[in-house]
Structure 1
């Protein structure tokens, strides 16, 4: 749920930062995306990722209590891992959205479907989540294999 919440946080922060501060367009693929929204969302998501990772690590049933030989080093650096995931969620995951926008534009579509009106459809809500899921899996595998 944590990586999922990072993408949601980034999406909401990009919307509000872009709406209230946005002046420069980020890409022609997504005409409503602005540079100010992208940068503002990055800052908000990193702060959220750091604080949320630390807060979640304090909840006993969320933390797997293992012996000192297992994953205890992961929990010592939980804020770092939260920031790494947040940086990915705010820098690379939005490019999945740009890719989906390019596919829609090439197909002459405004929205992929009408399940969530005004938001590009359900697919637009999930494209970044899928990208984030792959990164989270590989990132977790890399830190637990050491």
Structure 2
């Protein structure tokens, strides 16, 4: 019994600490890497319910009897569309795309930074001919040309949307199987009819880890040096090294 509890304790700590560290890293690298994935999971969950509620007929998996293929596919399509809109909208705010250098109690600090190449419109996309008739309904400033420039983040948002639609729901399926194994309906009862916080965060756990790994693997953003970042490194130096650094700075500036 003791070893069973010991094992469950370590698994719980691993899941909580690992996923929390990924979430925190995503937030420090830019709030957009936290908010967009969270919104994608919520959007997918809501529209899976909507499509399943009105058009669902084919069961998806036995662990979650209410999940349907119609809801799964409908949520996938709408989540990808939402990712396009959310990616373009949130990337217009410095607060979303600028990395956070240090902890602060200020709720909405005024952030300004040199834009990461991921957030600069540099990818040309050819406009299909069948969309050109829309120009008759659009104002002059929004007329569609032969091509449009998109920022790379939009494509990353689409990749995150596909993961949120195709893979992240299996976090919920795993949680459902876990609850069935212990013969419980929900992990908590904070939200009547919807369980507790853990019941709402099952897909977010997988999503946060994916975003952290995805960024580290496919998005090589150069580290932007700043005074705050340099000072944080200086604070870790010994007194002797600080004096040597001071002398070298004085020599370089003289």
TM-score (normalizing by structure 1): 0.90
Q: Which residue in the other structure is 1:4 paired with?
A: 38
Separation (CA, whole Å) in 1 of partners of 2:220 and 2:153: 16
Q: C-alpha separation between the residues in 2 aligned to 1:25 and 1:61?
A: 42
Which structure would you say has the larger Rg? 2
User: Aligned pair 1:94/2:169, yes or no?
Assistant: yes
Report the counterpart of residue 59 of structure 1 in structure 2. 93
Asked if structure 1 preserves the Cα contact closer than 8 Å seen for 2:172 and 2:203, the reply is yes
Q: In the alignment, is residue 27 of structure 1 matched against residue 61 of structure 2?
A: yes
Question: RMSD between aligned alpha carbons?
Answer: 1.5
What CA deviation, in whole Å up to 9, does each residue of 1:55-109 have, x standing for no partner? 1122244333437xxx31x223121011001111111000000000001111111
Q: Partners in 2 of 1:143 and 1:33 — Cα distance?
A: 32
More helix by share: 1
Worse overlay, 114-123 or 89-98 = 114-123
1:2 CA drift (Å): 1.3
Q: Describe the SS at the equivalent of 2:54.
A: helix
User: 1:117: how far off?
Assistant: 1.8
Evaluate the alpha carbon distance shift between residue 104 and residue 61 of structure 1 in structure 2; reply closer, same or farther with a 3 A threshold.
Answer: closer
Shift of 1:22: 0.2
Identify the structure with bigger relative contact order (alpha carbons < 8 Å, sequence gap 6+). Answer: 1
Aligned residues: 142
Aligned ranges for residues 1-146 of structure 1 at < 5 Å?
A: 1-64=35-98, 65-66=113-114, 71-72=116-117, 74-75=118-119, 76-145=151-220
